[in-house]
Amino acid sequence: MQIQKIAVLTSGGDAPGMNAAIRAVVRTGLEKGWETFGIRYGYTGLLNGNIIPLGMRDVGGIIQRGGTMLGSSRCPEMRNEEGKQKALQALKDNKIDALVVIGGNGSQTGAYSLSQLGFPVVGIASTIDNDLCGSDITIGTDTALNIALEAIDRLKTTASSHKRGFLLEVMGRNCGYLALMAGIAGGAEAIVIPEAELDPETIAEQIHSSYERGKAHALIVVAEGAKNNAESLIAYFKEHGKRLGFDLRLTKLGHVQRGGSPGAFDRILATRLGAGAVEYLSQGQHGVLVGWINGNISATPLSEIANKTKSIDMELFKLAQILSL
């Protein structure tokens, strides 16, 4: 495969470090003598032909910026054959030889569909949920986790001052990775995740037990996608008048976890994955996701990634329960 032009897009939810990955793709591509292009607003931009040239200076000063300079979007059209064919035609019309897709599950499923149509595509693992197969950790996860941890540390300070309990909701629609890791690192008394639901009475007993043991505060970390989510738990405790021992308050982090500058780990990870994607293309390898496995840049076939999610380590959930005693 002779490459002269490559394009890069970011799709789905933004993640801190995406800009660092864009920068690495563009600059390593240019170093190989290729023309490099950016596709604005993900697959939606691709379908609309919103493709711009990117040079060395166009990606200067972006490594420290959160979000994505190219913009992102969800694109339902990529789920049907007509949308896929339209995307393929847009790439051919712009004489693009290969595509790099930075994103999570939905984005890489779209990448796989284009690969199945015969177009050279390489994915880069990027999602704060860390639920993408083919990478031990994905771009944005570390920064999002540290933002959640900072919030926990601040909440525990004020909670101790007033002998209060806080219920903190973090992102994680279908995966409890962020809630679990933030809960362990932050010393939570209870963690509620989609993979291991806890009934409200069990949570109440854990918090009341903490109060009886003389703890000055209590913390419950809840993934937004849990069946017993933050709002339903607050409503349950109020309705049933359950004596927790602590005055319980609710805090939702929401999209605060996505925003802001990426940390050092995510900048370096994104840079290495971006450069790795270009390297794989130069070697004629495509139809793969570039991720971080066992401390190395690795490629996993997109066929093993599409429409799948990575399970969390439930042994860590058991450990969290032990440590909360």
Tokens at 163, concatenated: 């002998």
Instruction: Identify the helix (H) or strand (E) that includes residue 291.
Output: strand 288-293
Q: Which of 14, 129, 131, 266 is catalytic?
A: 129
Q: Are 77 and 149 contained in the same domain?
A: no
Q: What is the CATH number of the domain that holds 77?
A: 3.40.50.450
Together in a domain, 155 and 9: no
Q: Does 132 lie in the same domain as 45?
A: yes
152 and 40 together in one domain: no
- Res 19: pLDDT: 98
CB 230 within 8 A of CB 169: yes
Q: What digits encode the pLDDT tens for the residues 205-249?
A: 888 888 888 888 899 999 999 999 999 999 998 877 667 888 889
Residue 254, domain member (yes or no): yes
Residues 148, 155: Cα–Cα separation, whole Å: 11
Residue 324 has a pLDDT of: 81
* 313 occurs within a structural domain: no
CATH number of the domain where residue 211 is located: 3.40.50.460
Tell me: do 130 and 157 sit in the same domain.
no
Last residue of a domain, one of 258, 279, 313: 258
Q: How many folded domains does the chain comprise?
A: 2
Residue 93 designated active-site = no
Q: Report phi then psi at 171, rounded to 5.
A: -70, 160
d(CA 210, CA 19): 43
Is 275 a member of any domain? yes
Residues 185 and 242 both lie in one domain? yes
Cβ-proximal residues to 48 (8 Å cutoff; 6+ apart), any chain: 90
The whole-angstrom distance between residue 34's C-alpha and the CA centroid of its chain comes to: 29
**Cα separation of 88 and 301, whole Å?**
20
Q: Pick from 70, 67, 73: which is nearest to 12 by CA? A: 73
Same domain for 36 and 115?
yes
CA gap 226, 181 in Å, rounded: 15
One domain for residues 121 and 58: yes
pTM beyond cutoff 0.85: yes
Residues 161 and 45 grouped into a single domain = no
- Laid out side by side, the sheet with 121-125 consists of 51-53, 35-39, 5-10, 98-103, 121-125, 288-293, 296-301
Instruction: Kindly report the backbone phi and psi dihedral angles of residue 226, in degrees, each rounded to the nearest multiple of 5, phi listed first.
Output: -65, 145
Residues 41 and 134 in one domain: yes
CB atoms within 10 A of CB 200: 17
Asked whether residue 274 falls in the same domain as residue 148, the answer is no
Residue 74 included in any domain: yes
Whether 59 is in a domain gets the answer yes
Regions in the chain scoring below 50 on pLDDT: none
Same domain, yes or no: 11 and 136: yes
Phi and psi angles of residue 210, each rounded to the nearest 5 degrees, phi first: -60, -40
- Whether residue 312 is contained in a domain is answered as no
What is the predicted pLDDT for the residue at 162? 84
Instruction: Give me the residue label for tokens 């994905």.
Output: 138
pLDDT value, residue 257: 87
Angle (CA) 83-274-300 rounded to 5° is 70
Q: Which domain holds residue 232?
A: 143-258
pLDDT at 216: 84
Is residue 314 a part of any domain in this protein? no
pLDDT score recorded for residue 241: 61
Q: What is the pLDDT of residue 298?
A: 97
The single residue listed with the structure tokens 């809630």 is: 179
